[in-house]
């Protein structure tokens, strides 16, 4: 146990981003975690194999199940999102697929927000339908009124806030309370807000998705996703990712970790530019004059 490390929950989010997933003194003092390129893992002897071998949920036993680089990124994402655990996957789309298929089975009903990212909608209406899951798309502004849409076989309420690309901001706590009252799992795609501008686990979310391809990595050079969970929802998500063979290459994980370090400064500048641009557009009398000014 560390003696002097302050409680992580008391750190400011920007401080968390600077430190998350780092463990220098386990890596000869190197600030960043090493990039492990690994598939086969060797065991010292059969006793070692018997102890570590079956523990594929949390240990380094085969490259596909994760290396120390994977676990560093996962720890960092869990800290960033304010969740308990995180599972790294190869894209945001995989994160959506893993999250949904962790909690749905044939005969179940899914409530998905109408403003969800296009390929997420496609997954629900197409792929999940093939496996016998029925989806209803609901109004992003429905709030606690979601209660009226929940059926006996509704298992998941899926949110995306702000939504693609119309940017409705959902009443996450209101929807989560109504969903939990009927034993539904609440999954939020938190990509647009990023872990900095919305803290999902403080508002009743059970599972939070990041397309780390976007703000987290930040430089348009990697595809990466993370499914962050509570302690209770972690195991089923981990097992689903492993069942599907979802895995991530170590260099991509490293870029994800590296991106997290500058997320705070990049997003502040992004917001400044966005507001200035909005102001500028607001001053143009018509969209036509906006066009000529460009
Ligand atoms: C881009 C995006 C995704 C999908 O992520 P990829 O990494 O491109 O697969 C999911 N949700 C939202 C809100 C996105 O913007």
Give DSSP secondary structure letters for 196-225: HH--GGGTT-SEEEEETTTTTT-SS----E
Domain presence at residue 287:
no
Domain presence at residue 13:
no
What residues does 158 pair with on adjacent strands? Answer: 112, 187
What residues does 183 pair with on adjacent strands? Answer: none
Q: Ligand 1 centre and the CA of 93: distance in Å?
A: 6
Determine the structural domain holding residue 172 and report its residue range. Answer: 21-281
Domain presence at residue 161:
yes
215 classed as catalytic: no
Residue 216 pLDDT: 98
| Ligand 1 neighbours (beta carbon < 6 A) | 91-93, 96, 117, 160, 164, 189, 191-192, 211, 213-214, 223, 225
8 classed as catalytic: no
Q: Ligand 1 centre and the CA of 291: distance in Å?
A: 29
Q: How confident is the model at residue 1 (pLDDT cuts 50, 70, 90)?
A: very low
Structure tokens at 81: 């999102």
Question: What are the two backbone dihedrals, phi and then psi, of residue 34, each rounded to the nearest 5 degrees?
Answer: -65, 155
Residue 12 pLDDT: 87
Residue 57 pLDDT: 79
Domain presence at residue 226:
yes
What number does the ligand 1 atom closest to the CA of 164 have?
13
Domain holding 31: CATH number?
3.40.640.10
Domain presence at residue 67:
yes
The b-or-e profile of 134-159 (16+ CB within 10 A means b, else e) is bbebbebebeeebeebbeeebbbbbb
Would you say residue 5 has pLDDT above 60?
A: no
Domain presence at residue 74:
yes
Domain presence at residue 6:
no
pLDDT tens digits for 104-143? 999 999 999 999 999 999 999 899 999 999 999 999 999 9
Catalytic residue among 11, 19, 56, 64: 64
189 classed as catalytic: yes
Structure tokens at 105: 């089975």
Domain presence at residue 217:
yes
Q: Distances in Å between the alpha carbon of 178 and those of 142, 155, 244?
A: 11, 12, 31
Q: How confident is the model at residue 294 (pLDDT cuts 50, 70, 90)?
A: very low
Ligand 1 pocket test target in 77, 90, 93 with most atoms within 8 Å of CB: 93
pLDDT tens digits for 246-271? 999 999 999 999 999 999 999 999 99
Q: Distances in Å between the alpha carbon of 71 and those of 12, 81, 189, 191, 222?
A: 22, 15, 21, 21, 18
| CB 208, CB 83: distance < 8 Å | yes
214 classed as catalytic: yes
Average pLDDT over residues 235-245: 96
- Number of domains comprising the chain: 1
């Amino acid at each position: 146990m560390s003696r002097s490390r302050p409680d992580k929950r008391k750190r400011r989010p920007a401080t968390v981003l600077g430190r998350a997933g780092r463990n220098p003194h386990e890596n000869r003092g190197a600030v960043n975690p090493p990039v492990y390129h690994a598939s086969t893992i060797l065991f010292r002897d059969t006793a070692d194999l018997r102890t570590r071998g079956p523990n594929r949920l949390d240990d380094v036993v085969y490259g596909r199940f994760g290396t120390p680089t994977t676990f560093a990124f996962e720890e960092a994402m869990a800290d960033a999102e304010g969740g308990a655990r995180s599972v790294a996957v190869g894209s945001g789309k995989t994160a959506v697929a893993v999250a949904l298929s962790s909690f749905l089975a044939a005969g179940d009903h899914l409530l998905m927000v109408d403003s969800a990212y296009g390929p997420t909608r496609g997954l629900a209406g197409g792929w999940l339908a093939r496996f016998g899951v029925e989806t209803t798309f609901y109004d992003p502004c429905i709030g606690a009124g979601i209660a009226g849409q929940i059926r006996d076989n509704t298992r998941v309420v899926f949110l995306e806030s702000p939504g693609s690309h119309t940017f409705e901001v959902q009443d996450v706590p209101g929807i989560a309370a109504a969903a939990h009252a009927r034993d539904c799992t609440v999954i939020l795609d938190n990509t647009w807000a990023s872990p900095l501008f919305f803290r999902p686990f403080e508002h009743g979310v059970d599972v939070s998705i990041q397309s780390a391809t976007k703000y987290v990595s930040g430089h348009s050079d990697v595809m990466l996703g993370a499914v962050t969970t509570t302690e209770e929802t972690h195991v089923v998500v981990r097992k689903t990712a492993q069942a599907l063979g979802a895995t991530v290459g170590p260099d991509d994980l490293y870029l994800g970790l590296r991106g997290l370090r500058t997320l705070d400064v990049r997003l502040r500048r992004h917001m400044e530019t966005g507001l200035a641009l909005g102001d500028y557009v607001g001053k143009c009398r018509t969209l036509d004059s906006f066009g000529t000014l460009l």
